[in-house]
Structure 1
Amino acid sequence: MPNPTRSTYTPDHLIAGDFPQVKESGVIAAGQQLARGAVLGKVTADGQYKLSLAAAADGSEVPVVVLDADIDTTGGAAPGPLLLTGEVLGSGLTLGAGHTVASVKAALRLLSLFVR
């Protein structure tokens, strides 16, 4: 009789609830090391995503997506998975300077990305 396989449950510290998740790939701008859960804005000029900073003036100041995997683009822009809709835990988000959980919650709610 074979030994039963045991596994360890590791809770997801980003996803909350069971609201439908929609994901897509997008180009993450060069020069960043970002963790899963980073709140990103979209640069108007080239359509690439970068960590949303409230003081930015290139379009990325508006939070629009949440990064769904760690990524390192220090060697150049690269494709990365983006969470477009769903429910996320505020404690699992990485926020750029000038943003708070409350400020990104309001912006992302309009896009069906709910922060709990």
Structure 2
Amino acid sequence: MKTEGMHTGEFLVSEGNNSISREQVTFGANLDMEPGTVVAKVTATGVYMPLNPAGADGTEMAAGVLYAGKVTDASGGDGVIIARLAEVVDSMLVWPAGITAEEQAAAVGELAGLDIITRNS
């Protein structure tokens, strides 16, 4: 049996007109992320990485949702995130392994602060 992965933007319920919800950003090195991955921004460098609730470098705070799957090499790479003004399907978001319910709730609140609202599937 084959399992189909998530498609680009499949997690979106709605977004603002003229791609106002999207932002092109730089990602860190050696990443392999699916669409819908909750991302965070490293404070010192401005580089985006998957959310890491145990981080202490900015990666502990949700800063958006990855729009399309992204694989980066040793030098990192550019990609698009949903950074604001959108509704997303909560069950389609990709969270870090081991995230607790409290950490996930905090990240959902951080996304809401960016006007990225989660909706029940």
Q: Give your verdict on TM over 0.5.
A: yes
- TM-score interval, smaller chain: 0.7 to 0.9
Deviation string 1:65-92 (CA, Å, 9 cap, x unpaired) is: 1010000013421000010120001111
Identity %: 27
| Partner-residue secondary structure (3-state), 1:104 | helix
Q: Which runs of 5+ in 2 are unaligned?
A: 1-6
| Partner-residue secondary structure (3-state), 1:64 | strand
Indicate the residue corresponding to 1:23 in structure 2: 22
Indicate the residue corresponding to 2:110 in structure 1: 107
- In the TM superposition, what is the alpha-carbon distance from 1:28 to its structure 2 partner? 0.8
Q: Does residue 1:98 correspond to 2:99, yes or no?
A: yes
- In the TM superposition, what is the alpha-carbon distance from 1:13 to its structure 2 partner? 3.5
C-alpha spacing 1:109/1:67, structure 2 compared with 1 (3 Å) = same
Larger helix share, 1 or 2: 2
Which AA in structure 2 matches 1:90? Answer: D
Q: CA RMSD, aligned part only?
A: 1.9
- In the TM superposition, what is the alpha-carbon distance from 1:99 to its structure 2 partner? 5.2
Larger radius of gyration: 1
C-alpha spacing 1:34/1:99, structure 2 compared with 1 (3 Å) = farther
Q: Which runs of 5+ in 1 are unaligned?
A: 1-9
| Residue pair 2:39, 2:66 contacting (<8 A) in 1 also | yes
TM-score of the pair, normalised by structure 2 = 0.78
What are the residue-to-residue correspondences of 1:1-116 with 2, within 5 Å?
A: 13-16=10-13, 18-20=14-16, 22-85=21-84, 86-96=86-96, 97-98=98-99, 100=101, 101-116=104-119
TM-score of the pair, normalised by structure 1 = 0.81
